[in-house]
Amino acid sequence: MSAAAVPTAGVDLCDKVVLVTGGARGLGAATAQAVVDGGGKAVITDVLEEEGAATAERLGDAARFVRHDVTSESDWQAALDFAVAEFGTVDGLVNNAGTAAGRLLEHETVEHFRQVVEVNLVGTFIGLKTVIPLMREQGGGSVVNISSAAGLTGLALTAGYGASKWGVRGLSKIGAVELAEAGIRVNSVHPGMTYTPMTAPVGIRTGEGNYPGVPLGRVAVPEEIAAAVAFLLSDAAVYITGSELAVDGGWTAGMTVRHLRGQ
């Protein structure tokens, strides 16, 4: 399936304001696009200033960009204040910012492990904590935390990344049960291998047959993950909280027949 065929336009996000971290490129940019396509407003945050500003400019009047380090509490509050100043409120938060690097556990350094966990898990925690008062005051909201298929199963070469994504999965469930009475929904999305600027250096390719170990036989494009995120942000998902949505082409469901046959 090409990116153009992904049905994000069917998701109604009219009048919703969504803050998307790591929104300069890749999955974050695709999510911001889906928000705007659905009639909403997107506040893009990232440490990549030039790319983030360019993405917001491409999306037009319905998007804004602000520089934002997700590991900083003061940056989080500033980003939220910016969104409210620009668009009046924040109805949705997509904790998408993340970092990854493949290393065997025995070769992982404590310093790098902490760095990955700080961005992927602590950054998500600070973001969730920061938006709670505003969402509680306005009667609800939707938080979508981007975890990974590596947060549903054990994946080699992902000591820091996998551990942090399992943490995001657990944090999402805790948020869901604690915040349901306030009308705040918290869900996690678990992408499989997706072609983005972060994964391109490992040599993955898009197209049918390029990922034979996955039942659907290919990697995802960012728009396919963004479509699932947009759904969870929308009122169509009003009774969904605490869920973990795998958007992985069936990867975590099990091994394919062709993979078992060594094809």
Q: Has 161 been annotated as catalytic?
A: yes
Of the residues 161, 195, 211, 239, which is catalytic? 161
Rounded-to-integer distance, Cα 41 and Cα 16, Å: 6
Rounded-to-integer distance, Cα 148 and Cα 225, Å: 11
Rounded-to-integer distance, Cα 54 and Cα 31, Å: 15
Q: Could you give the residue numbers annotated as active site?
A: 161
